[in-house]
Amino acid sequence: MGAVTFILNFRPRFVIASRRRGNPGAARKSPRLWPLNCRVASLLAMTSLAACLWAAPANAVTIQRVTSPGGIEAWLVEQHTIPLIAMDFAFRGGAKLDPAGKVGLARLASATIDEGAGDLDSQAFQKRLETLAIKLGFQTDQDAFHGALQTLTENSGEAFALTRLALTAPRFDAEPMTRIKAQLLAGLQQAAEDPDAIASKAWFKAAFPDHPYGRPSEGEAGDIEPISADDLRQFTARQFTRDRLLIAVVGDIDAVRLGQLLDATFGGLAKSSNGPDPAPVTPAVNKTIVIKRDIPQTVMMFGLPGLLRNDPDFIPATVMNYILGSGGFNSRLMVEIREKRGLAYSVYTHLAPLAQTGLFFGSVATQNDRANETVALLRHELARMRDEGVTPEELEDAKTYLTGSYPLRFDSNAKIAEQLLGLQLENIGIDYIDRRNDLVRAVTREDVNRTARQLLNPDNLLLVSVGQPNGTSPVK
Amino acid sequence: MMKSLHLIAALGASLLVFADPVSARPWVQPESFTLKNGMQVIVLPDHRAPVVTHMVWYRVGSADEPQGKSGIAHFLEHLMFKGTKKIPPGEFSKIVARLGGNDNAFTSYDYTAYFQRVALEKLPQVMEMEADRMANLRLDDAVVLPERDVILEERNTRTDNNPAALFSEQVEAAQFLSHPYGRPVIGWRHEMEQLTTQDALEHYRRHYGPDNAYLIVAGDITAASLRPLAEKYYGAVKSRGIPARVRPQEPPQLAARHLEMFDERVAEPNWQRSYLAPSHNRRADSDPDALEVLSQILGGGATSRLYRTLVIEKAIATSAVAAYQGTALDYGQFYIQATPRAGQTVPALEQEVENVLTHLLKDGVSGDEVDRAKRRMIASAVYAQDSQQSMAQIFGEVLATGRSIEDIVAWPDRIQAVTPERVNAAAKAVLRAENSVTGILLPGKK
């Protein structure tokens, strides 16, 4: 649905208790290891279309680089067995470009451009989507504004047309503006009481005191209220331009038809816009922050500077991080903190390469009176990794997993589209996917240990604790 | 016995509502056979990628737990990773990872399930390990007691740190006067703290065996190629002789229940209502298909009645939704939930919900509303087929709750057959005060 819905607290009784908690940081920012084994097969000449085909070994996906007659590029994987088309697209920019005093502009735009566009008011637009069972949604993160479209093949013309309307002719009528602002503010109010959200917001604020990355992409309540329809129109004009646009399409469509739809959907957008990126930045660390809340379990977020995506050590660091804290039940932190001592249900670390900074961060939650013990163990494990590095067995297991699990990321149209867009956002090239598994296999123990020595300084952690960690007086 | 069923053949008729019925071309065709020890096998072929989702589902969940042992089904789920004669503690997931696979497990009221996602050629290894822990689990206090701390931390994370989750437990407990659906899956804390190795082993011996389990494999495989593997690994496990699932049933519910909880951690008030409803498994004298359509019309999105009235027209709420959960062995539930806008009161909000319900019960739903809801729901059956994992999940849940493959295959046809009259009748049968619990969660202290 176009509107922001809050069913955060809506927990029907059939909610499942799962053994492992999902990694909330991984969804959008996850370091992408797409070891898709594609190699160049041929350059196809097509009428009015240039398509570069990356053929893959049997059964893997085949990526075409499609350029429309009007010059709009998209990566396409044709998949005709199921009558569906998925398109993921993004405009570089996102929340980090929100002007000072208007933090939340991109977020508000993402929630309102499908609340009426062209001749269709909010209800008419939503009704059209529902009648044709079209799924269209927008969201923003710090570095990009994202759109996702899913449609049955037979409704693709209408689906792309509605996407065009939302991008080029959003109405920003008074009623949806007021309504969506109220929803966003309600969401911020809920987040202000949610321990994970509190920890995350405080962490980024402390890490980036003078940089847009320190501001929440969800917006600030005081800033969202006064944003006007004109502000949003300026935002869409600045943000929705062809030089910022990246597109991935997967499903029941061929390159010729896609070329036509690309021109019809995105052809009307301006070619380019100004909007310089913020300066590169290093997170401020070496600080401990305690935010007291009357809850039984202390939620902690910790982190250090990480690496940019184009750093030559990014792959070795990914292998190191897998062994330390992102390898699920097999990570050192999970074994030491959860399996051996029962201190936590979930503990993970994560390498997050943003456009202007690299981060290494993680999260763990434990009962209040074991918070110190958990932090001490965490610091000990970071130091152990830095000082002793990894064993040959750990390295081998990590490489086997990271290379062997790649096809699992490509078993549905929606997942393939997400992966292809991610490759474009990280700007690592369509040829990169061919080299990816070899890069992982080439990582040596010395590479891994070097990145551990470089990244892991447990005395430097930026640590935010929300709750009543032991040693602090109870709230009330 | 091998059956080949044609999901999309069934979908074909239904999809005529769309402009072009070509979208009804055949796709996922479920196949099924049963091993000699009673274990059913379901195959959901999808040859787009060379990977499989391998799941073993047990017909046991938290609603099958002995009184006073709440949480034991979920606790055992965790402990199933603690090893066998062949697999040392902590090794199961490590081996799966070495195979380039992911694994996890989950527990609900009516089922417990374990899965691995691996490349096709690794399937035999995960089948061997899953079959091994079906019969040969080894537990002792050294592995069980730290894991009990883990599930207590899990409860902290999911529930005790979150007032809305705590309140939901109270609402559910009030909804069920006798049936164990009133207990949380994770368990009540004081009972979880007392769970022992012995409790876990008793639960295991009583409920885990091939005759109480079924295997679902979705992905790049067919029944013909899976069958020899299934016979080799799961066929070798002896059946256990599983007791029938008999649970306490609800007495007539005669009194509307109203709950109120105050918590200083609550950011904004919240209003919710739950109605006891029939499940799909008990549809002989009720109409769960019509309830699904009703939930869409009432609160299934931006054009639903509740959203339109409360959130847009009256501007009294920031959210208003309805949902019907009918995938259950015994009872279903019909939910409504709304959050007031800043400056609006909960009683005023509740009154507007009541007005919407009164109008619905008095004047009924329109043909246009029913058609729109049905189109979206039937299309969702096509979307679901994009994900082998979703398909495995859907089949698993339905089979755990007393229904059959044929029942899933026929779902789009059944939805297509729902009429406004049936929706109106189903609404009248279920939206009754005496079936309901109304819950109000408020910030601050009473």
The Cα A90–Cα A354 span in angstroms is 15
Residue A317 near residue A451 (C-beta atoms within 8 A):
yes
pLDDT at A18: 54
| Pairing of the two strands A73-78 and A63-67 | antiparallel
B77 catalytically annotated: yes
Q: Is B17 on the interface with A (CB under 8 A)?
A: no
Kindly list the distances between the CA atom of residue A390 and the CA atoms of A321, A404, B26, in Å, as whole numbers in the listed order.
Answer: 11, 20, 50
Chain B residues touching A339 at Cβ < 8 A: 90, 146
Q: What is the DSSP string of A314-357?
A: HHHHHHHHIIIIISGGGSHHIIIIIITT---S-EEEEEEE-SS-
Residue A57: band (very low, low, confident or very high) from pLDDT cuts 50, 70, 90: very low
pLDDT at B215: 98
The Cα A142–Cα A281 span in angstroms is 14
Distance from CA of A270 to the nearest CA of B (A): 31
Between positions 276 and 315 of A, the ones with CB within 8 A of B are: 293-297, 299
- Nearest by Cα to A395 from A327, A298, A310: A327
Average pLDDT over residues B404-427: 95
The Cα A69–Cα B16 span in angstroms is 34
Q: Is A153 on the interface with B (CB under 8 A)?
A: yes
Q: State the CATH class of domain A26-266.
A: alpha beta
Residue A174 near residue A446 (C-beta atoms within 8 A):
no
Given the residues B31, B65, B77, B172, select the one marked as catalytic.
B77
The Cα B246–Cα B261 span in angstroms is 33
Please state the domain extents for chain B: 35-233, 257-443
- Nearest by Cα to A199 from A286, A301, A351: A301
Judge whether residue B436 has pLDDT over 50.
Answer: yes
Query: Distance from CA of residue A382 to its chain's centroid?
Result: 25
The Cα A136–Cα B144 span in angstroms is 46
Q: Which residues contact A295 (CB under 8 A, 6 or more apart)?
A: A195, A368, A466, A467, A468, B160, B161, B265
Identity of residue B345 = T
Q: Point out the residue among B147, B319, B335 whose CB comes nearest to the CB of A5.
A: B319
**Can you give the pTM of this predicted structure?**
0.91
ipTM of the complex: 0.90
Please indicate whether the domains covering B35-233 and B257-443 agree at the CATH topology level.
Answer: yes
Q: Point out the residue among A130, A193, A413 whose CB comes nearest to the CB of B376.
A: A130
Distance from CA of A340 to the nearest CA of B (A): 7
Q: State the CATH class of domain B257-443.
A: alpha beta
How many cross-chain Cβ pairs, A to B, lie less than 8 Å apart? 279
Beta strands in A141-256 (DSSP E): 144-152, 245-251
Query: Tokens in use for B116?
Result: 């691995």
Judge whether residue B27 has pLDDT over 90.
Answer: no
Residue B283: band (very low, low, confident or very high) from pLDDT cuts 50, 70, 90: confident
- CA A370, A376, A380: angle at the middle one, nearest 5? 145
For domain B35-233, say whether CATH 3.30.830.10 is its number.
yes
Q: Which residues contact B103 (CB under 8 A, 6 or more apart)?
A: B92, B93, B96, B114, B115, B116, B117, B126
pLDDT at A366: 97
Give the lowest-confidence range in A33-42, A206-215, B104-113, B371-380: A33-42
Give the lowest-confidence range in B197-211, B273-287, B292-306: B273-287
Helix axes A174-191, A105-112, angle to 10 degrees: 120
Please indicate whether the domains covering A26-266 and A287-467 agree at the CATH topology level.
Answer: yes
pLDDT at A65: 96
Residue whose pair of structure tokens reads 């957008």 in the numeric block:
A269
pLDDT at B242: 87
Q: State the CATH class of domain A287-467.
A: alpha beta
Instruction: Say whether A412 and B335 touch across the interface (CB within 8 A).
Output: no
Please state the domain extents for chain A: 26-266, 287-467
What are the pLDDT digits (tens) for B321-374?
999 999 999 999 999 999 999 999 999 999 999 999 999 999 999 999 999 999
Q: What is the DSSP string of A250-308?
A: EES--HHHHHHHHHHHHTTS-S----PPPPP-----SEEEEEE-S-SEEEEEEEEE---
Judge whether residue A27 has pLDDT over 60.
Answer: no
The Cα B272–Cα B346 span in angstroms is 10
Instruction: Say whether A192 and B164 touch across the interface (CB within 8 A).
Output: no
The Cα B443–Cα B150 span in angstroms is 30
Give me chain B's average pLDDT, please: 92
What is the share, in percent, of chain A residues with pLDDT greater than 90? 81
Judge whether residue A26 has pLDDT over 70.
Answer: no
Between positions 387 and 406 of A, the ones with CB within 8 A of B are: 397, 400-401, 403-406
Query: Tokens in use for B352?
Result: 């507007």
Q: Is A57 on the interface with B (CB under 8 A)?
A: no
